[in-house]
Structure 1
Amino acid sequence: MEKSKVLVVGGSGYIGRRIVKASLAEGHETYVLQRPEIGLDIDKLQTLLSFKKHGARLVEASFSDHRSLVHAVKLADVVICAMSGVHFRSHNLLLQLKLVDAIKDAGNVKRFLPSEFGTDPARMRDAMEPGRVSFDEKMIVRKAIEDANIPFTYISANCFAGYFAGNLSQMGTLLPPKDKVLIYGDGNVKVVYMDEDDIATYTIKTIDDPRTLNKTVYLRPRENILTQTELIEIWEKLILKKLDKSFLSKQDLLSSMEGLDYASQVGVCHYYHIFYEGCLTNFETGEERVEASELYPEMPSFCLRNDTVAASFRHHVDGAFSSSAS
């Protein structure tokens, strides 16, 4: 089967650049949206130019110019949006409504993957304020997609390992603790930790797969599901040292929101749902939801339990492994 042509929106971002690389690696003709709003961000510009060097095609378009968006969309069969949805960086999820309008007017797109890649928003209708804002906005985008009869795939990738594994899920840092570690609740709630490169590879595998059309795809290989306590134990074995542990109750976590800035409050809410409610693992997939590792058993997943764990920590926290072990 001929491979689809892919347009990546947000290709210079944290997950977007990995999706571009995965698309090229899988042999897809790959276009990357280049927005004039990039301004003087030299890092993003160099990232885009590196894609061009490896065979991607840059397409200039702006969310403030509908015609340019339509032109870009018409170049591809599949559109993948990877715009940021986290408040501590940038939060642009509702800009996707303009992309939906462009896809609708272009009329040629066979599949649209909006910017999700985290917790399934359809299961978070009872989420806490203000953390629910991300889920609500993703559902607004979903409704626009489905109202326009645009074929879709939604990717639920759970916890990015770079943000949740290498730091032992500690808030406010990306580095693993050397002496003391904070445990949420009893530390025994199951969480899904996914390597970002695996997320990108799984995402690209779905785009030409009829089994994933108009469905939510969960990325949660069995090997990647473990508790915070199990994650900490892996780290302790690597550094040959036991960490001092303190336990944070649900009440104390929620009380800590008082006085925090908005972005931090959103983050605390998400930690509550993940580490206390178990929102990533307390359900089974159904007809409209499929599990990626079952669809693609040939995919070797990032496995925190196996002998590559040291390399995994090094990959996500450069230099932290040696400094913590010393």
Structure 2
Amino acid sequence: MEKSRILVVGGTGYLGRRIVRASLDDGHPTYVLYRREIGVDIDKVQILMSFKKQGAHLVEGSFSDHRSLVDAIKQVDVVICAISGVHFRSNQILLQLKLVDAIKEAGNIKRFLPSEFGMDPARMGHALAPGRVPFDDKMVVRKAIEDAGIPFTYVSANCFAGYFVGGLCQLGKIVPSRDSVCLLGDANVKAIFVDEDDIAMYTIKTIDDPRMLNKTLYIRPPENILSQREVVEAWEELIGKELSKSSISVEDFLANLKGQDLATQEGLAHFYHIFYEGCLTNFEIGDGGEEASQLYPEVTYTRVKDYLKQYV
């Protein structure tokens, strides 16, 4: 079967660049939206040039130019958006409403994957403010997609390993300490950790898969469903040393939200829901979704214990 042509929006970003590589590696004709707003960001330009050398097609388009978006979309079969949805980078989720309008006008897209890739926003209506902002925004985009009758796949990838495993599940830390760690509560609540390259690989797997039409892909690698304590223990085993441990109660953790800047409040709220509430693992997937490692058992995903080896 001929591979679908894929347009990646946000292809120079943290996850987007991985999605572009996964698309190329899987043999898809791959198009990367080149936005005029890139200005003199030399790092992004060089990333784009590297994609071009690997065979990607660069397509100029802008959220401020509806016709350019329509023209770009008409060249492909599938659109994947990977623009940022968190405030410590820049929350651009609602810009996707312009993509929805362009996809609707183009009329040729057989699948749209909006920028999600974290917690399932449909299950986060109770989330603490201001952490709920990106979830609410994603639900606005979902409604627009579904109201327009655009075929979709949503991807819930849970915790990015780089941001969570590297820092032993501590907000603001991305490299594991060899001395100490702060445990969140009893540190026994299960979360789910996924290597970012694996997220991209699973995402691309869904593109031509009819089983994922109008469904949510939940990436839950079974060996990566771990508590913070288990992540810490895996690190201790690797370095042959027990870390000094402190802990923070849920009351003290929530009290830390007060007076923080918006991005920090958002991050703290998300950590609360993941590591105190257990929002990633306290539900069954149900009929509206599929689990990635069951759907694609041929994928050899990165285990947390192996991911940590790079820091030794």
Question: TM-score over 0.5 for the alignment?
Answer: yes
CA distance in 1, matches of 2:200, 2:164: 17
| Pairs within 5 Å for 1:189-200 | 189-200=189-200
User: Who is 1:145 aligned against?
Assistant: 145
CA distance in 2, matches of 1:72, 1:138: 23
Which whole-Å deviations, capped at 9, do the CAs of 1:62-118 have from their partners, x for residues lacking one? 100000000000111000000011111111000000000000000000000000000
74-83 vs 166-175, which deviates more? 166-175
User: Who is 1:244 aligned against?
Assistant: 244
Q: Does 1:24 align with 2:4?
A: no
Gapped runs of 5+ residues in structure 1? 322-326
One-letter code of the match for 1:50?
S
User: Who is 1:59 aligned against?
Assistant: 59
When normalised by structure 1's length, the TM-score is: 0.94
SS in 1 for 2:217: strand
SS in 2 for 1:86: coil
Q: Does 1:230 align with 2:230?
A: yes
CA distance in 1, matches of 2:224, 2:213: 25
CA distance in 1, matches of 2:145, 2:70: 16
User: Who is 1:6 aligned against?
Assistant: 6
| Pairs within 5 Å for 1:105-184 | 105-184=105-184
SS in 2 for 1:59: strand
CA distance in 2, matches of 1:157, 1:132: 17
CA distance in 1, matches of 2:140, 2:160: 23
User: Who is 2:280 aligned against?
Assistant: 280
CA distance in 2, matches of 1:105, 1:53: 31
CA distance in 1, matches of 2:251, 2:117: 29
CA distance in 2, matches of 1:259, 1:239: 37
CA distance in 2, matches of 1:68, 1:193: 37
Shift in Å, 1:313: 2.5
CA distance in 1, matches of 2:180, 2:255: 21
User: Who is 2:268 aligned against?
Assistant: 268
Shift in Å, 1:128: 0.8
User: Who is 1:324 aligned against?
Assistant: none
Shift in Å, 1:40: 1.2
CA distance in 1, matches of 2:304, 2:180: 21
Shift in Å, 1:240: 1.1
User: Who is 2:213 aligned against?
Assistant: 213
CA distance in 2, matches of 1:91, 1:20: 21
Shift in Å, 1:314: 5.0
Alignment match of 1:313 (pick from 301, 308, 312): 308
Segments of 4+ moved more than 6 angstroms:
none
Q: Does 1:49 align with 2:49?
A: yes
CA distance in 2, matches of 1:172, 1:283: 28
CA distance in 2, matches of 1:240, 1:41: 43
SS in 2 for 1:302: coil
Shift in Å, 1:230: 0.5
One-letter code of the match for 1:183?
L
CA distance in 1, matches of 2:131, 2:57: 36
CA distance in 2, matches of 1:199, 1:230: 22
Which whole-Å deviations, capped at 9, do the CAs of 1:21-63 have from their partners, x for residues lacking one? 0000000000000001111111111001100000000000010
User: Who is 1:299 aligned against?
Assistant: 299
- Report percent identity of matched pairs: 66
One-letter code of the match for 2:142?
R
CA distance in 2, matches of 1:49, 1:263: 32
RMSD: 0.8
Q: Is the 8 A contact 2:238 2:309 kept in 1?
A: no
User: Who is 2:90 aligned against?
Assistant: 90
Shift in Å, 1:178: 2.2
Which whole-Å deviations, capped at 9, do the CAs of 1:175-226 have from their partners, x for residues lacking one? 1122110111100011100000000000000010000000011000111111
One-letter code of the match for 2:256?
S
Q: Does 1:259 align with 2:259?
A: yes
Gapped runs of 5+ residues in structure 2? none
Q: How many residues align?
A: 312
Q: Is the 8 A contact 2:220 2:291 kept in 1?
A: yes
Q: Is the 8 A contact 2:194 2:219 kept in 1?
A: yes
SS in 1 for 2:277: coil
One-letter code of the match for 1:130?
P
